[in-house]
Homo-oligomer: A and B are copies of this chain.
Amino acid sequence: MVFGNVMVGQSGGPTAVINSSLAGVFQTARDSGCKKIYGMVNGIEGLYYGNYVDVSDYIKTNLDIELLKRTPASFLGTCRYKLPCVDSNAEVYEKIFETLKKLDIKYFFYIGGNDSMDTIMKLSHYAENIGSDIRFIGIPKTIDNDLDMTDHTPGYGSAAKYIATAIKEIICDANTYITDSITVVEIMGRNAGWLTAASSLSKCEDCEGPDLIYLPERTFDHDAFLNKVNEIKKRKKVVTIAVSEGVKMKDGRYVCEANKRNTVTDSFGHKLLGGTAMYLSDFLMENTGIKSRGIVFSTLQRCASHMVSRCDISEAYMAGADAVVSALDGETGKMIVFNRVSNTPYSIATGLINIDKIANKEKCVPDSMINSDGIGVTKEFYDYARPLIIGELPPFIVDGLPRHLRLQDKKFE
C-alpha cells in the first residue's frame, strides 16, 4: 500500500529519547509505504522559513535508526516558537501550509511538550477551517512530565534515571568524608516537581536517598527549611537536599530570584531560572556553619544519552510509531497518550486524546504523591515512577565515547 508524504518535527527542550520517537515515526512511516518523509529543521520555526530535509538522506540503514535512537537532544533541531493567533497573523499559517502543499504532505507529526501541542492544536484547527486534509498528530515529549491526560511523557524516565543515579553517586561521595557536609542539588522543573521528586528514587537498599525534597508544588519557607536541616544534622553527618529550580516563596517570587542574574525571559515569556542551589547552599553555610555545596544538574539531566531508561526509550519509539499508525487510520488533531494498564507487572498502552484537552495545560505532582510535611514523596510516587527508570540501552561506543547521529555533521565533512 502507498501512503502520502510525511512531515515530522521536534520542538522545545531536548531529551535523551526524543530521537527515539523520531525513529518510531520514520521507520513506521517508511515501512507503511509513505512516499517521502520530510523533517522540519528547527521545528515549526524552521519550516516557516522553508528549512526542511528529506530524512531518508540522513537515515539510510537500520543501523542509522539504532544510532538515532541513542542520540540525545533533537536530531532535526528544535525551536521555542509559539504560533501567533490566526486572527492576528494569518500570513504565518498561509506560508506554512503553502510549503506543506508544495511538498504534498498528508501527515504532520510534531514531537514536543506543552508549547508544541499548542502548535498542533492551532495547525489542526487551521486545516479544518481551510478544508485541508492534512492530518496532525502530536507526540508527547518532555523531561518535565507535565503534560496532562497521559500517565507520563517520554523523556521523563531517562531524566529521572539520570537524576536518581547522580544523586546516589553524590551521596556515596559525600559519605566518604569524616567532615559534616550539606549538599543542595538543583533539579529542573519550573512549575511541576516530577523531576525533583525523582531524586527520591535513589533511596534503595544501598542508599538513604535525599533527606529533604522541595517541589514547586509547595511554598518554600526559609525558617522551616533551616529548622529541618538543623533537625537532620543532629542525627546525620551528611545532609542531601533536592530542590526544584522552580521553588517559590510565599510572596510568589522564585527562591532563585534573590540572585540578580535571573531577569531574563525566553520567547514564551518564561523567566530563566537558576542559582537556587548555590543560593540555598550559601544560606545554609551561613546559618549552620557547616560546609555546604550546591550542585546544578543543568542540561546534563536532559541529554545524558549514556544513562537512558530502556523503558523510556522503547516507549518514546512506540509513541512515534503509534502516531503514524493513527494518522494513517485517519486521526487528526490528537496527541498520543500513555495509559497505565497495570503496575505489577508494569504495562502501558497508547491512546489518543483530543489535542484541545492537552495544549497549554500543566500537570503538577498531585497531593497524594507529596508527603504531609511537603518535604518528600509518598509510596504512591515510588510505585508510579520506579517502573519508568527500569532497563538500560547502552550507547554505541566509538573511541571510548557514545556515538551520536547529527544532522549538522555534513558541515564537518
Contacts and interface: CB of A to CB of B under 8 A. Distances in A.
Interface of A: 10, 14, 42, 45-46, 71-74, 77-80, 161, 164-166, 168-170, 172-178, 201-202, 204-208, 261, 264, 275, 278, 282, 291, 293, 295-296, 298-300, 302-307, 309, 386, 389-392, 394, 397-406, 408-409, 412
Contacts of A168: 401-402, 404
23 contacts: A14-B176, A42-B177, A45-B178, A72-B169, A73-B172, A73-B176, A74-B176, A165-B401, A168-B404, A169-B299, A169-B304, A169-B305, A170-B303, A204-B398, A204-B399, A205-B403, A206-B405, A207-B406, A295-B300, A296-B296, A300-B300, A390-B399, A390-B400
A154 to B, nearest CB: 16
A291 B405 CA distance: 26
A299 B170 CA distance: 7
A307 B401 CA distance: 10
A77 B164 CA distance: 22
B306 A306 contact: yes
Nearest to A385: B400
Contacts of A307: 306-307
The 3 closest A-B pairs by CB, nearest first: A389-B400, A173-B303, A74-B176
Contacts of A169: 72-73, 299-300, 303-306, 402
A206 B176 contact: no
Contacts of A178: 42, 45-46, 77-79
Of A46, A77, A165, the most chain B CB neighbours within 10 A belong to A165
Contacts of A74: 176
A81 to B, nearest CB: 8
Nearest to A307: B306
Given A178-B46, A206-B406, A72 B399 contact: no
A278 B78 CA distance: 25
Contact of A295 (B72, B299, B412): B299
